[in-house]
């Protein structure tokens, strides 16, 4: 997973306190098999790998990469990797940019830019709850088919 290690100046410094809280929150969920806070390959993020038992056999990895900044800007990237070397990705963002409003969603299957303008709650817990709820719907849809 390619990762830029420098925070863009417009987003401000990484909010390590919020990232630690997010990691602690995610640790309470049975969804995840592994949660890493600021790993060497993503020092500005929490990376949470989903338990693959929630997915059909063709999925080789599913993860969230969450970045949060002291400005309350964020990026929450979800990716599913498949045996066929394909992926399904989307991203929830809040940051200044020239392609959308500050709050926007990059839709699946490839998290294309520009995305769709969106509105997110101000509190990180509410943003995360909304994202996890949408991803739960995605996972449930695998089994409803």
pLDDT of 145 > 70? The answer is: no
Residue with tokens 């995605």, as numbered in its chain: 138
Residues 86 and 80: their CA atoms lie apart, in Å, by: 8
pLDDT in tens, 22-80: 999 999 999 999 999 998 989 899 999 999 999 988 999 999 999 999 999 999 999 99
pLDDT at 6 over 60: no
What is the pTM (predicted TM-score) of this model? 0.89
Radius of gyration of the chain (CA): 15
Residue 5 confidence class, pLDDT cut points 50, 70, 90: very low
DSSP-based three-state secondary structure for 141:
helix
More confidently predicted of 129 and 143: 129
């Amino acid at each position: 997973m390619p990762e830029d290690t420098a925070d863009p100046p417009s987003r401000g410094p990484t909010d390590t306190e919020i990232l630690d809280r997010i990691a602690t929150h995610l640790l309470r969920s049975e969804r995840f098999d592994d949660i890493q806070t600021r790993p060497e390959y993503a020092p500005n993020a929490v990376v949470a790998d989903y338990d693959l038992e929630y997915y059909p056999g063709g999925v080789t990895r599913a993860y969230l990469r969450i970045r949060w900044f002291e400005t309350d800007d964020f990026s929450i990237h979800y990716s599913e990797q498949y045996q066929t070397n394909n992926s399904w990705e989307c991203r929830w963002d809040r940051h200044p940019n020239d392609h959308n409003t500050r709050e926007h969603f990059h839709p699946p299957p490839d998290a294309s830019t520009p995305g769709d303008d969106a509105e997110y709650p101000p509190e990180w817990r509410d943003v995360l709850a909304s994202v996890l709820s949408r991803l739960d719907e995605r996972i449930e849809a695998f089994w409803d088919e």
